[in-house]
Structure 1
Amino acid sequence: MTGRSRRVTIDSEVRPCSIPSQTTAELPDSVGRLAELAAESLAWPGSVLSPAKLLGRRVVPVAELLPDAHAERLCVGSTPVLDRTEIATWVWPEMEDRVPPPAARVTGVLAPARHWRSALTAAVPFARFTSAAIVVPRGVAHGNEFVSTCLMRARQFGIAVLSADAESVHIELEGRSFEDAPPVEHTAVSRWVNEVAYEQLLATESPAATRSSPLS
């Protein structure tokens, strides 16, 4: 870890001190490729979608199409809805059974970044309703703060941590899995993220062709 020096005055004496700076390194591959490797390592089912800016964060969703709900929406001509104001009404009690069903399931959200602080900032909002993980360069995982701070904070939020170099992706910390957990009650945010994923899945050539979990 590197640092920058400054001078401080203590009892009229000037002494140099070091201010720790963030440990960063370049990502060893494209964000999309790292997301593919990370999703495979974590055994997340579904398709790795294109990087997207969600809730002001640059992340990579992983999602799968829900065939029955998708068929139902096709029958009534219900296309993906991306208007957050409209979607906010979908969780009102009086709107139950009057809104389209979720036709996609977001199985995880990945946040590759050069520094773990940036990655965690991006991943935390999604950890409330789906599996989340960060991917950082292997060199960042060797920083002094990584074990004492990054892994501790990631564990608090149930976020998986992976490090990557030019040859492989390694799981540094297992995150919380939603695979076998009871269904999470949808919020306006989770419904909107599902609609974004649904649109992306429909835009792919074969949205039904998703990676299966080894447990399925």
Structure 2
Amino acid sequence: MAAYIRKVRTASGATAVQIAVKQGGRRTIVEHVGSAHTDSELAALMQLARGKLHAGQEELDLGLDVPGNSGKGPSLITAKRSRWLIEAVETAWHRLGFDVLGDEAFFQLVLARIVEPTSMSDTARVVGEIGLTPVHRNTYANALKRCATSDYRDRVATRCFEHAAATGGLSLVLYDVTVRREALAVRAEVRDLCLEPGRSQESMKLGAA
């Protein structure tokens, strides 16, 4: 037997707002909230009826604020941690062998950029939001310097190559990136002609066709 809000037109032309229940096919009026003659009055009465209908249901009592609950009183969330995200990145980091760098600040810089595109100065915010303790801003700056002075690019590339070679499926594709001297001369000539008054690339294409 669930209560509900009922609106009904009265003989005077007003709209009555009531709280009713239906049981066994019979409707019973539990409370007459009031009668409205305007839309604003009706809205106010409907809001009042909802408050009466859901009284005492706005909070779910979990017993967290009962004295004697573990002897600590109310339970509070003091920290949060994106555990699965951090562990997924850490697992990939170790599997690829990047932990050989031994650089926590560099790891946090990479992690922050995986979470969201951000700057070095904003790395601490991103790292802190997912539950890690960020290092000092100067430590991040020093880590970026080490990327150049300690040849991080080649070391990371080497680890990636070794991982790919060890796990199989490694293939190399070689591209010929040389450009023939004749091709450069043709491109230069077309460019010069397009710069002449009255000529464009489209007209040159039509003329060539």
Q: Same fold (TM over 0.5)?
A: no
TM bin (shorter chain) = under 0.3
Larger Rg: 2
TM score, norm. by length of structure 2 = 0.22
Which is richer in strand? 1
